Amino acid sequence: MKDRFDLIIFDWDGTLVDSIDWIVHCLQTAAAENACKIPGEQAAKDIIGLSIDKAMEKLFPHIDQKLQAQVIACYSQAFFSKQMSQKDLFTGVHGMLLTLKKSGYQLAVATGKSHAGLTKAMQGAGLDDFFHITRCADQTASKPQPDMLEEIMAAMDVPKERVVMVGDSVHDMQMAKNAGISAIAVSCGANSSEQLQRYNPLLNLQHTTELLERF
C-alpha cells in the first residue's frame, strides 16, 4: 500500500471524530421537540454523511418545508451545544494525521457537514492546520454524488489512481465509486463492516488509525 497514493481524503464524523452517538441523540431530540416520529438508532445513523437537507428528506419525508426548517434549527442548536475538543477524536487520530502529513501525504476532508460547522469542529479538535483542502455539503452536491471528490482532485491536481477515500458510511463508499477512486472503509462509525463490504473497498478496517499499518 505504501507509495500507492498521494492524496488521502477523509470523511469527518465517524471516521476521524467519535460523534455518531451524539448526532443520533441530537436528531432524535429534534424530532421529539417538533412532534415528529422519532427515528430509530440505525435509521438516524443511515443518513449521517448526507447534507442536512437530504438527511431531513430521508428521515421525515412527509413534513413540509417550514417544519423541516424547524427540525434542522433544533438539531443544529442541540449539536452545537457541545463544544468539540481534541478528546472527541478517536484515540490516536491526531498522531495518525501528523504522521501521514510528515510522511508527505496530502490530506483532505469531504463531509456532509456545512462549511461553518466543519470549520468550528476542526478548530475545536485542533486539526485546522492538518488538511490541504476540504469540501462540505453546502459548497457542492451532497454525497453520494462525486462532486466533492472531483473538486478536491481538480484543485490538488492529483489523478484518480493516486487518490483514496477513507470513510465510515455507505455514502462515502458510493461517492468514491461514483468518482472512480479507491476507498477504504472503517467500521467505527455509522455503518457496519458487513454493510461497507458490499461496496468492495480496498480495505475494511475496524479503526481509522489502522491506516498507519498500511501507509
Q: What beta strand segments (E) does the chain contain?
A: 7-10, 106-111, 133-136, 163-167, 182-186, 203-205
DSSP for 93-134? Answer: HHHHHHHHHHTT-EEEEEESS-HHHHHHHHHHHT-TTT-SEE
Q: Is pLDDT above 90 for 91?
A: yes
Higher pLDDT, 157 or 214: 157
C-alpha cell at 24: 443520533
Q: Is pLDDT above 90 for 209?
A: yes
Q: What's the pLDDT score for residue 122?
A: 95
- Per CATH, the architecture of 7-19+85-213 is what? 3-Layer(aba) Sandwich (3.40)
Angle in degrees, 0-180, between the axes of helices 52-59 and 65-79, rounded to the nearest 10? 120
Q: What's the pLDDT score for residue 105?
A: 96
Over residues 29-55, the pLDDT tens digits come to 999 999 999 999 999 999 999 999 899
Residue position matching grid coordinates 478496517: 205
3-state secondary structure 191-205: CCHHHHHCCCCCEEE
Q: What's the pLDDT score for residue 3?
A: 84
Domain boundaries, the chain: 7-19+85-213, 20-79
| Average pLDDT across the chain, whole number | 95
Any idea how long the chain is? Answer: 215
Count of other CB atoms within 10 angstroms of residue 81: 8
pLDDT band at 2 (very low <50, low <70, confident <90, very high): confident
pTM of the model: 0.94
